[in-house]
Amino acid sequence: MDPLTPLESFYEMDRGEVFPLPPELAALYGSLRFPAHEGRPYVIGNFVTTLDGVASLSAPGMAEGGAISGFNPYDRMVMGLLRSVADAVIVGAGTLRSEPRHLWTAGHICPALSDSYRRLRAALGMSDPPLNVIVTARGEIDMGLPVFRSGAVKALVVTTPEGADRIRKGELPPSVVIGEAKKEGAISARAILSAVGLVRPGKIYLVEGGPQLMGDFFEGKCLDELFLTLAPQVAGRDGSVERPGFVAGKRFGPEHPLWGSLAGVKRAGSHLFLRYAFVTEASA
């Protein structure tokens, strides 16, 4: 990767604690801070969309965010930064299927800055990688994938009792924990957060999607903040295949629209890096 230049910052809300970024990360990103959230985890989301709101091209080999961002190195730098401050990274089974070899760690998404990410986690008192959380109602996942078998990360599978039974029929790797939601069917965002809290209590949980999972977190009013990369691409939609935005499966407006408050704007070339804060039930 070619050397990165600092992000250009246009606006940043002055609030909360400044995180101890190592010099290289501080030079690239600027300051990173989050508002006070005593007694509970602060839940953030991270997504990238095209100018016309497409979050997934839904094409073979191009379903993940890299195809949307153009594999932009600044987007990967920010992804790594957010993973490096997170106690847990939460994704859905669809995201796992689209990126089966992935590990949800800072070093995996941006290896060139892995040493800086490690130093940041050490400064925050975190020696292990973030807990990798996979949400699956049916439990239809391949337990032979690296996130479960590599031993590089601890993984939590949040599922229903039916899904847990299906997973336990196979061999469960020692680094994998199963968290059961009490009800069959859809798993609420609050049930996910409760399961994560039992395994990895922490200050920051990061949700990376996909769109169905992000919709669940917005519906449950559980997402404190969204980091949104706006890529200068127009993907379009012709109805032949679903191309969701970063929220799918839920409808809020016009009956109950969710309005965010702008918390930050940065730029790298023609990519914009936006932050929006949302009112949650915990913060209301």
**How confident is the model at residue 145, as a pLDDT?**
97
Specify which residues 37 forms β-bridges with.
none
Strands 204-209 and 42-49 turn out to be: parallel
Give residues with Cβ within 8 angstroms of 116, minimum separation 6.
Answer: 22, 24, 25
pLDDT band for 224, please (50, 70, 90 cuts).
very high
Query: What are the structural domains of the chain?
Result: 9-23+41-52+63-232+243-249+259-277 (3.40.430.10)
With beta carbons less than 8 A apart as the criterion, state whether 199 and 87 touch. no
Q: Average pLDDT, stretch 170-189?
A: 89
DSSP annotation of 184 reads S
pTM, entire model: 0.95
Q: Average pLDDT, stretch 73-95?
A: 97
How far from 119 is each of 81, 84, 106, CA to CA, in Å?
11, 9, 12
Rounded Cα–Cα distance for residues 68 and 57 (Å): 7
**What pLDDT, in 10s, does the model give residues 5-34?**
999 999 999 889 899 999 999 999 999 999
Supply φ then ψ for residue 171, to 5 degrees: -80, 130
* Other CB atoms within 10 A of residue 108 CB: 20
Give residues with Cβ within 8 angstroms of 255, minimum separation 6.
Answer: none
How far from 123 is each of 70, 126, 283, CA to CA, in Å?
32, 7, 27
Q: Decide: helix, strand or coil at residue 240.
A: coil
**What pLDDT, in 10s, does the model give residues 105-120?**
999 999 999 999 999 9
**How confident is the model at residue 165, as a pLDDT?**
95
Least confident of 206-215, 232-241, 274-283: 274-283
**How confident is the model at residue 58, as a pLDDT?**
82
**How confident is the model at residue 219, as a pLDDT?**
96
**How confident is the model at residue 38, as a pLDDT?**
86
Residue 210 preceded by cis peptide, ω within 30 = yes
With a cut of 80, say whether residue 86 has pLDDT above it: yes
Residue 151 preceded by cis peptide, ω within 30 = no
Residues in the chain: 284
**How confident is the model at residue 211, as a pLDDT?**
95
- Tokens 């209301």 — which residue? 284
What percent of the chain stands above pLDDT 70? 98
User: Which of 268, 278, 284 shows the shortest CA–CA distance to 29?
Assistant: 268
**How confident is the model at residue 212, as a pLDDT?**
95
pLDDT band for 283, please (50, 70, 90 cuts).
low
**How confident is the model at residue 1, as a pLDDT?**
62
- Tokens 């109950």 — which residue? 256
Q: Average pLDDT, stretch 172-197?
A: 91
**What pLDDT, in 10s, does the model give residues 135-153?**
999 999 999 999 999 999 9
**How confident is the model at residue 63, as a pLDDT?**
62
* Other CB atoms within 10 A of residue 26 CB: 17
Handedness of CA 205, 77, 80, 186 (dihedral sign): positive
